[in-house]
Amino acid sequence: MSFTLPDLPYAHDALQPFMSKETLEYHHDKHHLAYVTNGNNLLKGTEWEGQSLEDIVKGSFGKNAGLFNNAGQHYNHLHFWKWMKPNGGGAIPGALEKAIIDGCGSMEKMKEDFIQAGVTQFGSGWSWLALKDGKVTVMKTANGESPLVHGAQPILGCDVWEHSYYIDYRNRRPDYLKAFIDQLVNWDYVAEMYDAAAK
């Protein structure tokens, strides 16, 4: 299996004013494409060729840094585009809402912790909601890592690399994270990943 760049599930200008057309042109069309191209080149001839993306990510972690960084970021971005939608935020499917309250205390606490995880991720990385030991929990990871390589299943992630927000928010990472969680999240897709992980 080789990596391919998916189309965005909405127009490049569909997430404005919270994420600009220019950001998505750079982030999707250039940054994600580079992970796909480099990942395919680095995958060739390795023991992971022909495996699923999740298996490549987990298998190459700690063993092949170049491949892991690109495959990890390909996995993260594939979902990142789908974790957002125009007119996002809003109502959360009931079973997921219950699991979030159970794992994080309340919806408000989850949002606060999710933003805090992104703000305190030093340098590049991601903030996450993940299912770990049967509970929804907030996590943060560096660079191309995800909960997948830390014993958990990601259900929502926010890219806090500067390329994700600097055009629109400059250095205001907290404002970007707040806009993401309040205005952009596609909770139906989060629920889909939660349901698959909770099985």
Q: Which residues bind Mn ion (CB under 5 A)?
A: 159, 161
Q: Which is nearer to Mn ion, 19 or 92 (CB)?
A: 19
Q: How far apart are CA 31 and CA 187, in angstroms?
A: 25
Q: How far apart are CA 68 and CA 90, in angstroms?
A: 34
Name the minimum Å distance from CB 76 to Mn ion: 7
Q: How far apart are CA 90 and CA 106, in angstroms?
A: 15
Q: Which is nearer to Mn ion, 136 or 156 (CB)?
A: 156
Q: Which is nearer to Mn ion, 113 or 159 (CB)?
A: 159
Q: Which is nearer to Mn ion, 10 or 195 (CB)?
A: 10
Q: Which is nearer to Mn ion, 145 or 159 (CB)?
A: 159
Name the minimum Å distance from CB 25 to Mn ion: 13
Which ranges of 105-161 does DSSP label H, i.e. alpha helix?
Answer: 107-120
Q: Which is nearer to Mn ion, 21 or 132 (CB)?
A: 21
Name the minimum Å distance from CB 134 to Mn ion: 29
Contact between 93 and 187 under an 8 Å Cβ cutoff? The reply is yes
Name the minimum Å distance from CB 47 to Mn ion: 27
- Please, which residues have CB within 8 angstroms of residue 159's CB and are 6 or more apart in sequence? 27, 76, 77, 80, 126
Name the minimum Å distance from CB 180 to Mn ion: 13
140 beta partners: 127
Contact between 96 and 118 under an 8 Å Cβ cutoff? The reply is no
What phi and psi, each to the nearest 5 degrees, are found at residue 125?
165, -155
Name the minimum Å distance from CB 164 to Mn ion: 5
Compute the 3-state secondary structure of the chain and give helix, strand, coil in percent, each to the nearest 5: 55, 15, 30
